[in-house]
Every structure is written in C-alpha cells, then in structure tokens.
A = this chain, B = another copy of it.
Amino acid sequence: MVAPSELEHSMEKLMLTFHKFAGEKNYLNRDDLQKLMECEFSEFLKNQNDPMAVDKIIKDLDDYRDGKVTFHSFFSLIAGLLCACNEYYVKYMKH
C-alpha cells in the first residue's frame, strides 16, 4: 500500500476532525460545533468578537433546521473560510 500524499493526509485530517467532535453520532450539534470552533478556529472566533458567532454559523449551516450539522454542511463552512483565505492570499501574499 502506497503512503498517502500530503494532500490526502490533509483531507483525512479534515474528515477526522469532524468525527472527533461528532463522536458516536454522524453530525455536530450546537455544543460540538462550539467546541470544534474554539479548538480549531480560536483566532477566527476571537476576531469575530461576537458571542453569537457560533449560533449564526450553525443557523447558516443547518440545512434542515434540526440543529444538526452534517459532514456535508461542515465542509461548506470549510469551503467558505478557505475561499475567503484564498482571495486574501492571491491579493496580498502570492506574488
């Protein structure tokens, strides 16, 4: 078996982070998402300077209005953050 590439390793990390906070379930509830954001995006949360930030994010991500963030929805959050980072990178850091 070939060792995973660095990109594959990063993708695995994304997936396993979701499951680390989801636990036995296959979704994140509000508390799980709060913990995940505090552990993994602490600077982002601090910069938001908004105690309701996680509630607003979960409202955006919770497609079915049942308080459950699926892997698919979680990945939309990552995509949104990363596309914003990419715009910044291209504009100010790439060249």
Contact = CB atoms under 8 A, between A and B. Distances in A.
Interface residues of A, number: 36
A43 B3 CA distance: 10
Q: Describe A's contact surface by its main secondary structure.
A: helix
Contacts of A19: 89, 94
A43 B9 CA distance: 13
Nearest to A17: B7
Interface in A38-95: 39-43, 71-72, 75, 78-79, 81-83, 85-86, 89-90, 94-95
A38 to B, nearest CB: 10
User: 3 tightest A-B contacts by CB?
Assistant: A10-B10, A7-B40, A10-B13
Given A41-B5, A43-B2, A11 B85 contact: yes
A15 B82 contact: yes
